Amino acid sequence: MFKVLSAERIAPKEYDLWVEAPRIARHARPGQFVVIRPDERGERIPLTIADFDAERGTIRIIFQAVGKTTTRMASFKKGDAIQDISGPLGRPSEIGKLGTVMMVGGGVGIAALFPIIRALSQAGSKVITVLGGRTSDLVIMKDECGRFSDELIITTDDGSEGVKGLVTDAMKTVAGRGGKIDQCWAIGPTIMMKFCAMTASELGLPIWVSMNPIMLDGTGMCGCCRLTVSGAIKFGCVDGPEFDGSLVNWDEFMSRLRQYKDEEKISMERYQEEVGDLSWL
Partner 1 sequence: MAVSRTKTPISEQPPHERIKNFKEVCLGYTLEEGRAEASRCLQCKDAPCVPGCPVAIDIPGFILAIRDGDMPGAVKIMSRYTNLPAVCGRVCPQETQCEGVCRLGRAKNVEPVAIGKLERLVADWNYAQPTALAAEIPPVKAGRVAVIGSGPAGLTVAGDLAKLGYEVTMYEALHAPGGVLIYGIPEFRLPKFIVAKEIEAITGLGVKFEPNVVTGLTVTMQEIMRDFDACFIGVGAGAPNFQGIPGTALSGVYSASEYLTRINLMHAYEFPSYDTPVKRSRSVVVIGGGNVAMDAARSAKRLGADEVAIVYRRSLTEMPARIEEYHHAVEEGITFHWQTNPTEYTDDGSGKLRGVNCIRTELGEPDSSGRRRPVPIPGSEFFIEADTAIEAIGQGANRVLLSAFPELELNKRGYIEADPKTGATSVPGVFAGGDIVTGAATVILAMGAGKDAAAAIDEFVKSKKNK
In angstroms, give the least distance from the CB of 235 to partner 1: 8
Our CB check for partner 1 shows the closer of 7 and 227 to be 227
Number of helices (H), then strands (E), belonging to the chain: the values are 8, 16
CA dist 55 and 52 (Å) reads 9
In angstroms, give the least distance from the CB of 92 to partner 1: 10
Stretch 28-57 residues interacting with partner 1 (CB under 8 A): 37, 41-44
Our CB check for partner 1 shows the closer of 199 and 212 to be 212
CA dist 177 and 188 (Å) reads 24
How long a stretch of residues is the chain?
Answer: 281
Q: Pattern 223-262, binding to partner 1, x per CB under 8 A? A: xx-xxx----x----x----------x--x--xx-xxx--
In angstroms, give the least distance from the CB of 270 to partner 1: 5
Residues near 243 by beta carbon (within 8 Å), at least 6 away in sequence: 208, 209, 211, 227, 229, 234
CA dist 169 and 198 (Å) reads 12
Q: Pattern 206-225, binding to partner 1, x per CB under 8 A? A: ----------xx-xxxxxx-
190 belongs to the binding site for partner 1 (CB under 8 A): no
The strands making up 2-11's β-sheet, listed across from edge to edge, are: 81-82, 2-11, 14-20, 58-64, 45-53, 33-37, 84-89
Q: For 93, phi and psi rounded to 5 degrees?
A: -65, 155
278 belongs to the binding site for partner 1 (CB under 8 A): no
89 belongs to the binding site for partner 1 (CB under 8 A): yes
Contacting residues toward partner 1, per CB under 8 A: 23-24, 27, 37, 41-44, 68-69, 83-89, 216-217, 219-224, 226-228, 233, 238, 249, 252, 255-256, 258-260, 263-264, 266-267, 270
